Amino acid sequence: MPKKPSRSKLVKNLDTVFSKYIRISNADKSGYCTCVTCSVVKHWKEIQAGHFMSRKHYSTRWDETNVKPQCIGCNMFKQGEQYKYSLFLGKDASEVLYLKSKETVKFTNYELEEMIKDYSDKLKSIT
């Protein structure tokens, strides 16, 4: 019987497939995305999946509203440009995500596996 993947491995796999989905689903037909905080345009492979509320909050970590394309400059070197990100999202969505991020969520390994499968299927449908 094959060994079950560790929780950390499941989280890493979900992060990978989710990030790819966010970037590709927000790209144009040529594969280019626009950074939501500075409007720079880059190929989806050269842009990151930036989180409005930090990835440390599992309740919003894989929420499609919370994660949008961001250039490395905004996402990493400017700590996500959260204020500009909030302007992009709008006051209502920003407040909803803020409140949701405060919820305590513990996904089971099964739920993580299901999300990996769901986002893998979504990716296949758009690529």
At 58, the pLDDT band (50, 70, 90 cuts) reads very high
Give the pLDDT mean for 57-68.
Answer: 97
Most confident of the ranges 2-6, 38-42, 78-82? 38-42
pLDDT of residue 95: 97
Three-class SS of residue 51? Answer: strand
Q: Is the pLDDT of residue 126 over 80?
A: yes
Q: Is the pLDDT of residue 2 over 80?
A: no
- Average per-residue pLDDT in the chain? 95
Which one-letter amino acid corresponds to residue 113? Answer: E
CB-based contacts of 78-86 (< 8 A; 24+ apart in sequence): 78/37, 80/37, 80/50, 80/51, 80/52, 80/54, 81/37, 81/38, 82/52, 84/36, 84/37, 84/38, 85/36, 85/37, 85/50, 85/52, 86/52
Rounded to 5 degrees, φ, ψ at 88 are -65, -45
At 3, the pLDDT band (50, 70, 90 cuts) reads confident
Rounded to 5 degrees, φ, ψ at 21 are -60, -45
At 125, the pLDDT band (50, 70, 90 cuts) reads very high
At 70, the pLDDT band (50, 70, 90 cuts) reads very high
